[in-house]
Structure 1
Amino acid sequence: MPPVLARFYDTPPTETGPGTETWICRAANFVVTVSRVAAGAVLTRDNPDEYVLLSNDLAATVTAGTTGAETIEAAPDSLTIVPPGESRIVARTAGTLARVFSAHATDLAAKAANAADYANGAPLVAPLGEWPAPKGGYRLRTYALADHVTEGSFLRVFRTANLMVNPLVPWAAARDVHKLSPHSHGDFEQASLALESTWIHHLRTPWTADMDDWVDDLHAEIGSPSVTVIPPTIVHTSRNIAPMGRLVDVFAPPRLDFLQQGVVRNADDYPMPA
């Protein structure tokens, strides 16, 4: 399966509503949506499991539960984990927000612009599986991303029971081309959600014994907002070519290597699988 390059900024929205335009892209185990919203716009959802809200450049009031039993204020540049069941997001200011769902959100996966890419499954991708519920039960959890910057690292990794989301510390300048990080993943996809700046994703398909399978390297320039889904085994690295590069990496299920390295900021809230 080739990489997916979803240029939301250059394509019509998948869904529209009062004060909202939403674009949808999927992978085998997760779905990413980006919405441009007016102040006062409302996004509702009755979701089978947790999802992640990235407020990006706007403030929002988030309510969970059938009677609005739990409400939090999500500040700009925050990450909020929304529990299963009914939820309501009210934009307090205009801007762009993103939501990340697991593939259990089958209605969204079916609406994705690239849904046909997964009509025959994704044989190289390990299944989503079932991970334990969070300690103390499901509830709204919100994190100001500015509070989770570690010197010498761009990682700001958070997880739910089914998802792992890494809103990288923004690059204030174009990324140093002498300090890139080409790597690959054996059995899971990575989505790179670009919320600001222009990016080049460098993608290399490994050679096989059959030369007919060889594919030229891809150096894909892409703006924001956009989603790039990178299949297993593809060697990849990314760099912004304009200031203030804001990029979010998405994985599902959560990555065991990140958990074992101790870089997950909310790891204490979520038990490891048996």
Structure 2
Amino acid sequence: MYDPSDPRSRMAASAAAPKAAAPQAFAGADYGLFYEIAPQVVGDGAKTWLTRGQNFLVAQSEVDAGGSLQRSGQADEYVLLLPDRDTPALIEANGERVDVDGFSLVILPPGDSGITLPKGGRATRIFSTGSDDLNALCSNAESYAEPHPNVALLEPWPDPIGGFRIRAYSLDVPPTPGRFGRIFRCTTLMVNYLDPQHGPRDITKLSPHHHDDFEQGSLALDGAFTHHLRWPWTTNLNVWRDDEHALVQSPSLTVIPPPAIHTSRGMEPGLNQLVDIFSPPRVDFAKQGWVLNADEYPMPSHLAD
């Protein structure tokens, strides 16, 4: 359910899509409140907090001037967010070196890589859950000791055109009528750096909706958000869940499970900045032409039609 001014209101559901069987079990939402807990990793001039979903995880870092974030033998691509304009970075991966301005999204290739922040600042890395060492560090690792119900497992999309390398994109992308957010994708992730919201969200234009078989990661970088969640009723009262209206500050990650109905409301008088994360990439968003780097990352052929 979307307000007519929301670009998502124009996405038509496929009439030919088969109806999924009604869920018989539900998972709750997971919350990584990075502002309340101790970091899981401290070293190399950085503090890092980690929380996961079924197919993705977020590593949120505060980095001292000259501090670095290193990965060795990374199995697949990952995403770096530099949300502040005055936070440049030096990115090194597999013999390649790239200087990146602040307020950028960077896709790093598999293998060995390092991120150095000469001025320090905050940095967000988003990974798939294909790395057991990172999964084990997550604040909610026990929540995923068994796979959550209703979530389709990750099948990576095709390799990028021209092969794996460092790919940097400015987030300084002005809003365009009919386009939703600022969406980028790689082989395992889709990241929507939503247009900034200044002041509380209009409560007459919320967007309650649900996803059948994928989680949504809602990463709050600035401000505060109330995440409203409601689970469907089934014939089995034992699996019913109470509604949640979770107020979270920044930085934090909320993992919203399918098929919970959800909408998020910015609360602060200043900047409320949210980033949505999906793994694997969303087919419906890709088909809308909203992905800003789609020319570099092909869709699977069986999904492109």
What secondary structure is seen at the aligned counterpart in 2 of 1:116?
Answer: helix
Distance between the aligned counterparts of 2:173 and 2:255, measured in 1? 28
Distance between the aligned counterparts of 1:245 and 1:154, measured in 2? 17
Distance between the aligned counterparts of 2:101 and 2:204, measured in 1? 35
Contact 2:44–2:69 under 8 Å retained in 1: no
CA RMSD of aligned residues (A): 1.2
Aligned residues between the structures:
271
Question: Which residue of the partner structure matches residue 290 of structure 2?
Answer: 263
Question: Which residue of the partner structure matches residue 195 of structure 2?
Answer: 169
Question: Which residue of the partner structure matches residue 219 of structure 2?
Answer: 193
Distance between the aligned counterparts of 1:86 and 1:5, measured in 2? 30
Question: Which residue of the partner structure matches residue 159 of structure 1?
Answer: 185
Question: Which residue of the partner structure matches residue 300 of structure 2?
Answer: 273
- What is the deviation of 1:41? 0.1
Which letter maps to 1:147? V
Which letter maps to 1:64? A
Question: Which residue of the partner structure matches residue 136 of structure 1?
Answer: 162
What secondary structure is seen at the aligned counterpart in 1 of 2:169?
Answer: strand
- What is the deviation of 1:154? 4.7
Structure 1 position 253 matched with structure 2 position 253: no
The correspondence for 2:40, drawn from 3, 14, 28, is 14
Contact 1:148–1:265 under 8 Å retained in 2: no
Which letter maps to 1:225? P
Q: Deviations over 1:242-263 (max 9, x none)?
A: 1211111111011110111111
Structure 1 position 96 matched with structure 2 position 96: no
Question: Which residue of the partner structure matches residue 59 of structure 1?
Answer: 88
Distance between the aligned counterparts of 1:42 and 1:240, measured in 2? 32
- What is the deviation of 1:270? 0.8
What secondary structure is seen at the aligned counterpart in 1 of 2:136?
Answer: helix
Which letter maps to 2:151? V
Structure 1 position 41 matched with structure 2 position 67: yes
Contact 2:180–2:290 under 8 Å retained in 1: no
Question: Which residue of the partner structure matches residue 30 of structure 2?
Answer: 4
- What is the deviation of 1:153? 4.6
Distance between the aligned counterparts of 1:106 and 1:148, measured in 2? 38
What secondary structure is seen at the aligned counterpart in 2 of 1:201?
Answer: strand
With normalisation by structure 2, the TM-score equals: 0.86
Contact 1:21–1:37 under 8 Å retained in 2: yes
What secondary structure is seen at the aligned counterpart in 1 of 2:54?
Answer: coil
Q: Greater Rg, structure 1 or structure 2?
A: 2
Distance between the aligned counterparts of 2:166 and 2:64, measured in 1? 23
Q: Structure 1 pair 181/171, CA: closer, same or farther in 2 (3 Å)?
A: same
Q: Deviations over 1:103-155 (max 9, x none)?
A: 11221011111011111112311110132100010111111111253246551
The correspondence for 1:146, drawn from 126, 151, 172, is 172
What secondary structure is seen at the aligned counterpart in 2 of 1:146?
Answer: coil
Question: Which residue of the partner structure matches residue 112 of structure 2?
Answer: 86
Contact 1:62–1:90 under 8 Å retained in 2: yes
Contact 1:25–1:112 under 8 Å retained in 2: yes
The correspondence for 1:214, drawn from 240, 249, 254, is 240
Distance between the aligned counterparts of 1:212 and 1:162, measured in 2? 35
Distance between the aligned counterparts of 1:105 and 1:74, measured in 2? 25
With normalisation by structure 1, the TM-score equals: 0.95
